[in-house]
Structure 1
Amino acid sequence: MTPSFKTMAAWLRSRKVELGLGLRVTVAAMGALVIALALGLRLPLWAVLTSIIVTQMSVGRSLKATRDYLIGTLGGAIYGGAVAILIPHAGEGALLFVLVLAVAPLAFAAAINPSLNAATITAIIVLLLPVMNRVDPLDSAIDRVLEVTVGALTGLLVSFLVLPSRAHSQIRASGANALELMASVLNELLCGLTRGRDNDALRRLQDGIGAALAGLNAIGAEAERERAARLTTGPDTGPLLRTVLRLRHDLVMIGRASVVPLPAELQRRLALPLTRISDAIVEYLSKTAAALRNATFPPSIAPVQAALQAYGAEVASVRSEGLTRGLPGDVAERFFALGFSLEQMRQNLKDLERCVADWAEAPTGSRSKTADEAE
């Protein structure tokens, strides 16, 4: 194979989830159109559009989209149909009044509960379509519900049958991405204690972590929805999500402690231990991310513990020599906050090891070996 073909093939493999979604959406749209035409629905367009809307990246997300769209459609059809039938609106002024009466309460309800977003649109269609096409409002409401039901059920069925993508499995890739970003941030933060740091680069990395965690939490909610519907089996997503979030908090604390470099004498004594800590934790996070992505057991945390113990011993030596006594209050506060933050990170990395081990797909006996090596 030529290099360009290999590159394209590698890119396509990295986009399997997105390609699967594209295929599911296409199949759902085609299926909804065929079914709508076979049933003789008045406007097959709404069945096709609904099938596209409810076909999401994961089965869990498709379940929520289908539920929300059906509830919103049913509520909007009932309310919009009732307004259209009970309140005469032959003239333009009356039509405007009825439109306001239909839209305002549903828009307010959707602002409170976003799962009702489809209700407002449905009410407008049920109200205005009879005016334009000279059909009965009740028939319009029934048609709308049938069209959306066909589209929603078609999209949901396709999500289950055509290259189904489980949110539970997507957590691996999303969590691994967040850990890799954290490794990059930690390296930049600890290097800043001895040589200064690139604040623009650090801000970009921190923003990336924030976006990654937002996506991870969203996928976690979808995964729990799948578990509740008994569509998947596997570990609870909560411990992993909480541990990753605590690691983010550790990075924030380390960032506050490393706003400015350490004094020159402390830099000379602590530069090497800090470098070893950075190397050990960055390597551990990177390897743990790979283990989570590949569903294997995490690496041993022993190198991280050894590096932190060496740093603690050097800090104790520095303090015994009195090198911290003359430090300004804010510098001393940041210096000791750094040690506390690193200890918190050690504990959270230990929790991360257990969480990733829970997500590993390997023989049961392998887990005890990893835990014993880390002790």
Structure 2
Amino acid sequence: MIPFSIQAPWLNNAVARQTVRLLSAVGLSGFMVWLTNLQEPGWAIITSVIVTQNSITDTISKGRDQIVGTLIGAVASIVPITLMMFLRWPLWEAFAIAFIPLAVLVSWKPEARMGVVTLMIATLFPSEGDPYLRPIERVLAILIGVGVSTLVTYVVLHEKARRDAFRNAAETVTQIVAMLQKARSGDTDWVTIQDMNDECAASLRKVQAALEEARREHWKPLEQRDPMLAQLPKEVRQLQMDALVVARAMLRFPHSGATIPPQQVATISAGLLRGFQWVIQRCNDEATARSGDDSRVAAEVISALPAEDETADPIIRFVVGILLTDLKHIISFLGEDDADRP
């Protein structure tokens, strides 16, 4: 499905895009309920407002909760309606028979809370016509609202999951570099490093969220249509874990009694920084356009990295060696040209 988009500077604002999507969903829902001539058209419009989210993932999740809850409430409302129509039960007693089990269910599964709302509407707020049609119309209204919201989220100013994933990956690697530089300065403690690592983890979660969004954008598996994006969170996560270990080793180094010549430290740091900067730039480039890259460029970047045995300290050599291995892997990975994939 090809998303509808308009090239306008103000549409670069996420709030503006969501506003357009929301207005589109409300307008289309209103048109659909006018065509179907529902007795209570407002519920389709209300549902479209609730369900329309910034991302496909959130919209589908909200829509699923609305549909499941409404179906549960519609089925449950048949009980009090039947009791009142054929057995002449009082309203509140008949309502309580269905409400109490639903209250227990909602306490256990809060996402089913729309069931209680549907039960109340169908039972406590009577309308003209057959009472059994009320829950059915309620379900139809919800289905219209959810369907319209899902369609709008897919096709109207659709968010670019790939762009967001690579931008957040670049931000994560930038934070990794900052953490390593902070640890190298020695003017910090482990708590500060942990806080910086938490920031890296938060950015990495955004990469993963964008990846999940990208999986829902197309029927074809992401691993086939964009293997670079599918592998991206795993590669960046490995760098994050390696960097935390290296930072921990650097913090203990001044207290270990071992020494490394300053020139050696500067050489290793400069080499690693060049590699990280290339990864950051590469992620930013992929966020702009899926252009691919020459693998020879990646090979040149890898060859410029420091050697694993440039330090005599065994612990530093070991942890830096691990970081170098994974840094080389992500450079090689990002150097692959997959721009011709569908």
Which category of TM-score, normalised to the shorter sequence, fits these structures? 0.7 to 0.9
Structure 2: segments with no counterpart, 5+ residues: 1-7
* Equivalent position of 1:223 in the other structure: 214
* Equivalent position of 1:253 in the other structure: 245
- Note the C-alpha offset of 1:28: 0.8
Q: Is the 8 Å Cα contact of residues 63 and 146 (structure 2) preserved in structure 1? A: yes
- Note the C-alpha offset of 1:142: 0.8
2:77 counterpart of 1:81: yes
- Note the C-alpha offset of 1:145: 0.8
Q: Is the 8 Å Cα contact of residues 161 and 214 (structure 2) preserved in structure 1? A: yes
* Equivalent position of 1:172 in the other structure: 166
* Equivalent position of 2:298 in the other structure: 300
- Note the C-alpha offset of 1:147: 0.9
Q: Is the 8 Å Cα contact of residues 51 and 63 (structure 2) preserved in structure 1? A: yes
Q: Distance in 2 between matches of 1:282 and 1:230?
A: 30
TM-score (norm 2): 0.77
Determine helix, strand or coil for the equivalent of 2:39. coil
Distance 1:50 1:173, change over 3 A: farther
C-alpha RMSD of the superposition: 3.5
Structure 1: segments with no counterpart, 5+ residues: 1-8, 112-116, 319-323, 325-334, 364-375
Q: Distance in 2 between matches of 1:228 and 1:362?
A: 18
Q: Distance in 2 between matches of 1:233 and 1:53?
A: 34
- Note the C-alpha offset of 1:213: 1.7
Higher helix share: 1
Q: Is the 8 Å Cα contact of residues 183 and 281 (structure 1) preserved in structure 2? A: no
* Equivalent position of 2:132 in the other structure: 138
Determine helix, strand or coil for the equivalent of 1:312. coil
Q: For 1:143-158, what aligned pairs fall within 5 Å after superposition? A: 143-158=137-152
2:262 counterpart of 1:266: no
Distance 1:186 1:84, change over 3 A: farther
TM-score (norm 1): 0.71
Determine helix, strand or coil for the equivalent of 1:57. coil
Q: Deviations over 1:266-307 (max 9, x none)?
A: 144443234324432442332233233233446536455544
Q: Is the 8 Å Cα contact of residues 280 and 304 (structure 1) preserved in structure 2? A: no
Q: 2:246 corresponds to which letter in structure 1?
A: I
Q: 1:69 corresponds to which letter in structure 2?
A: Q
Total equivalences in the alignment: 322
* Equivalent position of 1:213 in the other structure: 204
* Equivalent position of 1:187 in the other structure: 181
Distance 1:177 1:165, change over 3 A: same
Q: Distance in 1 between matches of 2:201 and 2:246?
A: 16
Determine helix, strand or coil for the equivalent of 1:186. helix
Q: Distance in 2 between matches of 1:356 and 1:72?
A: 44
Q: 1:225 corresponds to which letter in structure 2?
A: R
Q: Deviations over 1:30-77 (max 9, x none)?
A: 221232234332333321222233333334554454445334433442
Q: Distance in 1 between matches of 2:178 and 2:122?
A: 56
Q: Deviations over 1:237-276 (max 9, x none)?
A: 4322211121121122223223345357614444323432
Q: Deviations over 1:124-163 (max 9, x none)?
A: 3233443233565522211211111111121122223322
- Note the C-alpha offset of 1:343: 2.1
Distance 1:144 1:161, change over 3 A: same
* Equivalent position of 1:36 in the other structure: 33
Distance 1:303 1:312, change over 3 A: farther
Q: Distance in 1 between matches of 2:287 and 2:90?
A: 62
